[in-house]
Amino acid sequence: MCGRFVVANVASELVGVLRVDTINPSLPGPSYNVAPMSTAAIVLDSAKTEPPTRRLEPARWGLVPAWAKDPKIGARAFNARAEELEDKPMFRGALIKRRAVVPTTGYYEWKQLADGKEPHFIHPADDSPLFLAGLYEWWKDPSKADDDPDRWLLSFTILTRDAIGALGSIHDRMPLFLDADFADAWLDTDTENVGDILDAAIDAAPDLAETLETRVVSSAVGNVRNDSPALIDPA
């Protein structure tokens, strides 16, 4: 799974290779402890423009589908199993037309030990951005007026797959990693064979996973109120 991640730089500095056209000025700042239900930056292609506009937008972590009666449903949907997307009504529509990329510096995972859990920080060895595959949704709050700028909630989920290699020794799931080329194809709203793109991304993720480094970090990361560069220092 992926329950915490790091954005150590301003998000706009992480997405140069993705050729973003528009950057929302309200993006959150750097964070070393992004948790579910908090706001992070995502990249998406807006199909409402022609040609589609690639945007970097702030979004809440935890997917809220358009049909939801209460946005609290997002607390249970911060991750989605990539191999089950096409069978789950909550994710099927977003898979077809609302795919996102979550730019990060790295993420945390906890290893189960006999006497508790040990947090690890997992990141690219060369400190390049780590792109995670995601889905997004827009939810309209019926309690707010049509002209209220807060009426629309943009939310997202991060996809996961079976973990392999060194990452598999920490946890049985890992995020669905994307290199720059796969990220570009993943965002393309004109893609017709979405299942093929998803399968290819799942198959390619292990090669990228093998390039990542892991290190044990302080248990302080377990408290969502803690947010400082010291969280990614070796324990």
Active site (catalytic) residues: 2, 109
Could you give the 3-state DSSP secondary structure of residue 87?
A: helix
Rg (CA), the chain: 17
- How many angstroms separate the CA atoms of 150 and 36, rounded? 20
DSSP 8-state secondary structure symbol assigned to residue 98: -
Is the previous residue joined to 206 through a cis bond, with omega within 30 degrees of 0?
no
Backbone angles phi, psi at 34, to 5 degrees: -75, 125
Could you give the 3-state DSSP secondary structure of residue 81?
A: strand
Token reading at 183: 């990220």
Q: What is the DSSP string of 176-214?
A: -EE-HHHHHHHH-TT-S-HHHHHHHHHHHHHHHHTTEEE
